[in-house]
């Protein structure tokens, strides 16, 4: 079993493998995967199939190869809100100047809960537009749609076979979302979604992943999974099968912003602001008008005590209670 699984990982070192060729669609040649994994790509083999075109990187190839790599993404499950902005997108803008950055729209994650096809296609485009409007610069960062790169799902299958189910059963987000969805609507993918997230990250040998507090547990699972695969299939075992030996995956570090890592719902002070909350009053969408935002703030649930508490998550709510 171990041997058969390990034999899949060395395909990463073969640039003609289906895995490597499916990766070629989204990423600009010199910003693509480490050459030790995929070999040097031919410029002509790169065709972007994304709705967004990816420009040639501004940074010369030599310097980008020593830059640390960052990946992050947002699900196109609805309207992007202040939590997504402060917890993730806002931080990308600075990071894209000093890191090799890949920002994608994680549409495969969005189908873990019931969805409408046309609405998903629209939200995917809208999310890409919001990335650009917030300052993501395609001359610095690679921007693409997750489902356009088949390797995310292919690696997920390999990783799934190395993931103990007990690890997934412990995920708080699964417990919360499945409770809200009700047993009838809980899909297997809602449980296995963290493995897809691990694949999104490990595929690119990422050094850092900027996330809000809610994703911390999923990132910890990614780190544990990388260590497990390295232990089970890396090192000498990999070398014996013709791989290069050593660690198969880099173990990524989380980048949690000092402020805004957990922006709370406007209607329920115990839950985080979320796209999938049924009440639009619970969140400030980035595309809300000034008047709508003012109205939502006026109506939002406040703390019972007055005063200003300098905890990032309660800042807005406590400030409002002083009005
Ligand atoms: N309330 C939040 N405060 C701070 N950061 C947040 N993030 C999400 N909500 C908050 C961060 O935004 C990034 C993208 O999140 P996602 O779309 O992948 O999924 P999510 O974390 O599950 O966000 P939502 O808005 O709650 O979406 P739904 O309702 O569809 O599940 C992540 O970095 C996340 O940490």
What residues are in contact with ligand 1 under a 6 Å CB criterion? Answer: 74-75, 77, 83-84, 86-88, 106, 211-212, 214-215, 260-263, 272-276
Atom of ligand 1 nearest to the CA of 75: 17
Ligand 1 centroid–CA 323 distance in Å is 28
- Band the pLDDT of 180: cuts 50, 70, 90: confident
Q: Work out the angle between the directed axes of helices 216-233 and 188-202 (0-180°, nearest 10).
A: 70
Does the residue 149 lie in any domain? yes
- For 308, residues 6+ apart whose C-beta sits below 8 A from its C-beta are 315, 318, 319, 322
Three-state SS string over 89-138 comes to HHHHHHHHHHCEEEEEECHHHHCCCCCCHHHHHHHHHHHHHHHHHHCCCC
53 pLDDT higher than 60? no
Instruction: Give the pTM.
Output: 0.77
Least confident range of 8-22, 40-54, 166-180, 288-302: 40-54
DSSP of 37-51, one letter per residue?
HH-PPPGGG----SS
Does the residue 78 lie in any domain? yes
Does the residue 272 lie in any domain? no
Asked if 272 and 99 count as a contact pair (C-beta separation under 8 A), the reply is: no
pLDDT of 203-220, one tens digit each? 999 999 998 888 999 999
Does the residue 301 lie in any domain? no
Q: Return the residue whose CA atom lies nearest to atom 12 of ligand 1.
A: 84
Residue 54, domain extent: 2-265
Least confident range of 102-116, 160-174, 191-205, 262-276: 262-276
Atom of ligand 1 nearest to the CA of 261: 4
Q: What is the mean pLDDT of residues 262-287?
A: 91
Cβ neighbours of 252 (radius 10 Å): 22
Catalytic residues: 177, 272, 275
Ligand 1 centroid–CA 272 distance in Å is 9
- For 85, residues 6+ apart whose C-beta sits below 8 A from its C-beta are 134, 286
Ligand 1 centroid–CA 37 distance in Å is 31
Q: Return the residue whose CA atom lies nearest to atom 2 of ligand 1.
A: 83
Helix (H, G, I), strand (E, B) or coil at 142: strand
Output phi, psi for 105, to 5 deg: -100, 115
The proportion of the chain whose per-residue pLDDT surpasses 90, expressed as a percent, equals 57
Atom of ligand 1 nearest to the CA of 77: 30
* Pocket residue to mutate for ligand 1, from 72, 124, 130, 212, most atoms within 8 A of Cβ: 212
- Band the pLDDT of 309: cuts 50, 70, 90: low
Q: What is the mean pLDDT of residues 117-136?
A: 96
Ligand 1 centroid–CA 214 distance in Å is 7
pLDDT of 221-253, one tens digit each? 999 999 999 999 999 999 998 989 999 999 999
pLDDT for the residue 235: 93
Does the residue 288 lie in any domain? no
Helix (H, G, I), strand (E, B) or coil at 212: coil
Average model confidence (pLDDT) for the chain? 80
Calpha distance 225→169 (Å, rounded): 15
Q: Return the residue whose CA atom lies nearest to atom 8 of ligand 1.
A: 84
pLDDT for the residue 211: 85
263 pLDDT higher than 50? yes
Helix (H, G, I), strand (E, B) or coil at 6: helix
Q: Return the residue whose CA atom lies nearest to atom 14 of ligand 1.
A: 74
Question: How many folded domains does the chain comprise?
Answer: 1
Residue 227 belongs to domain with CATH number:
3.40.50.620
Ligand 1 centroid–CA 81 distance in Å is 9
pLDDT for the residue 33: 35
Ligand 1 centroid–CA 276 distance in Å is 10
List beta partners, residue 101: 70, 141
Does the residue 282 lie in any domain? no
Asked if 225 and 166 count as a contact pair (C-beta separation under 8 A), the reply is: no
Q: Return the residue whose CA atom lies nearest to atom 10 of ligand 1.
A: 83
Does the residue 280 lie in any domain? no
* Pocket residue to mutate for ligand 1, from 80, 88, 220, 312, most atoms within 8 A of Cβ: 88
pLDDT for the residue 15: 37
Asked if 201 and 195 count as a contact pair (C-beta separation under 8 A), the reply is: no
- For 253, residues 6+ apart whose C-beta sits below 8 A from its C-beta are 207, 208, 209
Higher pLDDT, 177 or 183: 177
Q: Return the residue whose CA atom lies nearest to atom 26 of ligand 1.
A: 274
319 pLDDT higher than 90? no
Higher pLDDT, 33 or 277: 277
Does the residue 103 lie in any domain? yes
């Amino acid at each position: 079993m171990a041997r058969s699984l390990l034999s899949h990982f060395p395909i990463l070192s073969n640039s003609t493998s289906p895995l490597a060729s499916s990766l070629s669609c989204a990423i600009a040649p010199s910003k693509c995967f480490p050459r030790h994994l995929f070999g040097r790509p031919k410029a002509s083999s790169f065709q972007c199939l994304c709705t967004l075109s990816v420009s040639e990187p501004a940074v010369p190839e030599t310097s980008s190869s020593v830059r640390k790599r960052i990946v992050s993404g947002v699900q196109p499950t609805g309207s992007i809100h202040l939590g997504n902005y402060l917890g993730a997108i806002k931080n990308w803008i600075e990071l894209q100047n000093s890191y090799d950055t890949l920002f994608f729209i994680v549409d495969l994650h969005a189908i873990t809960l019931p969805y409408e096809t046309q609405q998903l296609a629209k939200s995917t485009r809208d999310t890409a537009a919001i990335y650009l409007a917030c300052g993501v610069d395609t001359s610095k960062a690679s921007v693409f749609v997750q489902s356009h790169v088949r390797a995310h799902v292919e690696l997920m299958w390999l990783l799934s076979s190395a993931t103990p189910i007990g690890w997934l059963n412990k995920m708080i987000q699964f417990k919360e979302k499945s409770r809200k969805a009700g047993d009838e609507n809980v899909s297997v993918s809602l449980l296995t979604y963290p493995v897809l997230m691990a694949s999104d990250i490990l595929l690119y040998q990422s050094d850092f992943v900027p996330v809000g507090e809610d994703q911390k547990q999923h990132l910890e699972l990614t780190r544990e999974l990388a260590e497990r695969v390295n232990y089970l299939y890396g090192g000498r075992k990999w070398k014996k099968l013709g791989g290069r030996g050593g660690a198969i995956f880099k173990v990524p570090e989380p980048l949690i912003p000092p402020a805004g890592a957990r922006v709370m719902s406007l209607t329920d002070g115990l839950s985080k602001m979320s796209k999938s909350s049924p009440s639009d009053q619970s969140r400030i969408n980035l595309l809300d008008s000034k008047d709508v935002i003012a109205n939502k703030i006026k109506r939002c649930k406040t703390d019972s005590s007055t005063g200003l508490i300098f905890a990032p998550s309660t800042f807005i709510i406590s400030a409002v209670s002083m009005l």
